[in-house]
Structure 1
């Protein structure tokens, strides 16, 4: 049986035994919808309506039939994969074969295991590594938005836990890595900025800590017309008045 992987975090991808398979846009949507709905098994009609909702029911269903036939003949069978090893049909319902790997499921499983395991850091770091970007980053369909937000929230929570654990253990290199990833997601996070400034200062990277403060200050002033919080200003004063490190 072929190794089939579906990537939904960041850009859509379909790989068979490590080789990327390019699909037409509407086939990508079908595969993504089925992959995201694995636990509730969408009907073919529901998928057709979601993708071709502006068409009549009959036209939408016809498009669905044509796309699945095209997928079977020109993509699966061409790569030696029976349709039954990818999609399972149960009456009018369609769902993924259990052996098909979906990165969203790998990410979610690592997050769940990480929050309940003593091996928290390794599992959460694995989850972060799987998260290549927000769900189907360049797609603007309504059915994506809720799940995109939910997964991004999980990702941010992972980063926050890893950041705090690294701070607790004085693991400055790791703390800087997790802190930078947090600020990449939310560049206005003043609590993270203050803590990251302190870590950089402790590492002797005073100039970098000051640059971090000035970047936040400029964003807040330009976008919201406000100054940084007292917590951030206090950390800036501690860094800027310490002349022991000029790196």
Structure 2
């Protein structure tokens, strides 16, 4: 009996897939048989990750350069992925940006950058990959939100209103789009991670890590294994009856 979590023959495209949480998700999909496309503005990092995954798991991989906030770049990337793999079965919108600053001091340029990458980038990738998924009448879309988009954090923990606003927008975008495409065999869900040890959170955790851990019901920060199960669930047949959901993977911090 084929496992509900078997991804053999599927193609997964992960934005921001060269490092951090994106790389972890690419690895778990490859471990379960999926071919992997990773893209970001840092092509060299994506290429290195793609080569590592092929060597370790033996699946087909490819790296692509893409600025998700640039419409023409997104269109080109989706076309190149389909030309390379013939299809896209799984899309993970993981690329993200943040900017820590008090609201009264935040430049408009910073606000626009975060919104353009996080929210507009998710829209553009969903639109372009979705056109392909609608034609094939199937697909799995996983948007990466954040616990910061579920609740207002104290300024001592997080002072990045553009980031939290963009993630809250992603959560509602996920629900709205899931409703629109529910009849097309496309599921759209979001993962809302809490604090994980990544490049984006490194400085915050160095300064406030102990306080953040002590405030969590589980008393710890997410490690590299903590996100893999949820990411695999939402990409596999096991989630065929789940859509429009925001799943917090946060050690209970959003409770």
TM-score by length of 1: 0.29
Between Structure 1 and Structure 2, whose CA radius of gyration is higher? Answer: 1
Select the structure with the greater relative contact order (CA < 8 A; seq sep ≥ 6): 2
Q: Specify which structure has the higher proportion of helix.
A: 1
Q: Specify which structure has the higher proportion of strand.
A: 2
